[in-house]
A and B are shown apart, each in its own frame.
Chain A
Amino acid sequence: GAGVSQTPSNKVTEKGKYVELRCDPISGHTALYWYRQSLGQGPEFLIYFQGTGAADDSGLPNDRFFAVRPEGSVSTLKIQRTERGDSAVYLCASRLDRGGELFFGEGSRLTVL
């Protein structure tokens, strides 16, 4: 596709459940990012991939959060044992060149009841 695609756009789940959020970046973009945006806040860095490897996962809040990018394209953010505090919009972005701009998807809104 022409832009960054994220699915699902909305996800409602119950506390304690497992959730997967998918990101399909722009073709050819080797760098991929996950951010989390809570209400009234700016995007908060979670994890950065260069190719297939997670080059920096220092923003992941705890070990319930994990992300993969097995073939260097599509990425999946996985959240185990969801908590109400995980409710937020999860944004994915990709980038072509170092120093260039990030291209964002429309986000996946996660609501944990």
Chain B
Amino acid sequence: AQSVTQLDSQVPVFEEAPVELRCNYSSSVSVYLFWYVQYPNQGLQLLLKYLSGSTLVESINGFEAEFNKSQTSFHLRKPSVHISDTAEYFCAVSSGTYKYIFGTGTRLKVLA
């Protein structure tokens, strides 16, 4: 069975500092990996995804994530965060069928 672990429930970081949000998954087959962002009182929005090809994927607003098969990880990073990045971030895994499993989320709080 697939599962997703986001070890950090909350991550406070100062503005313009780098951040890494951790995601580990378990699956016995090939996977597709996703990061979603949820701003207060809004639905989930796709931030970036790994389906195949290059293991490093990037979003339009400066986030990146690297698929590491040997460590079964898909950590999200940004070299310099902004106040507007304050949100909850969810990692999700799919084995390419219909199942999408989400982690419990990491609340990123960017401090001025």
Query: Which residues of A pack against B, CB within 8 Å?
Result: 4, 31, 33, 35, 40-45, 48, 50, 55-56, 91, 93, 98-107
Q: Write the nearest CB–CB distance from B21 to chain A, whole angstroms.
A: 13
**Once the chains are docked, how many angstroms separate the CA of A97 from the CA of B93?**
15
Contact check, B43 vs A33: say whether CB atoms are below 8 A apart.
no
Q: A106-B42, A107-B43 are known contacts. Are A98 and B100 too (CB-CB below 8 A)? A: no
**Once the chains are docked, how many angstroms separate the CA of A48 from the CA of B101?**
13
Q: Note all chain B residues with C-beta closer than 8 A to A103.
A: 46
Q: A40-B9, A41-B105, A43-B90 are in contact. List 9 more A-B contacts (CB 8 A).
A: A42-B4, A42-B90, A55-B98, A56-B98, A93-B44, A98-B96, A104-B44, A106-B42, A106-B43
Contact check, A98 vs B43: say whether CB atoms are below 8 A apart.
no
**Once the chains are docked, how many angstroms separate the CA of A98 from the CA of B32?**
10
Contact check, B103 vs A42: say whether CB atoms are below 8 A apart.
yes
Q: A42-B104, A91-B44, A105-B43 are known contacts. Are A98 and B90 too (CB-CB below 8 A)? A: no
Of the candidates B43, B90, B96, B102, the one whose C-beta lies within 8 Å of that of A99 is B96
Q: Write the nearest CB–CB distance from B40 to chain A, whole angstroms.
A: 12
Of the candidates B32, B42, B102, the one whose C-beta lies within 8 Å of that of A43 is B102
Q: A41-B104, A55-B98 are known contacts. Are A101 and B46 too (CB-CB below 8 A)? A: yes
**Once the chains are docked, how many angstroms separate the CA of A40 from the CA of B43?**
14
Q: Note all chain A residues with C-beta closer than 8 A to B92.
A: 102
**Once the chains are docked, how many angstroms separate the CA of A107 from the CA of B44?**
9
Contact check, A98 vs B42: say whether CB atoms are below 8 A apart.
no
User: Per-position contact with A for B95-112: 1 when CB-CB < 8 Å, else 0?
Assistant: 011111111110000000
User: Per-position contact with A for B74-106: 1 when CB-CB < 8 Å, else 0?
Assistant: 000000000000000010101011111111110
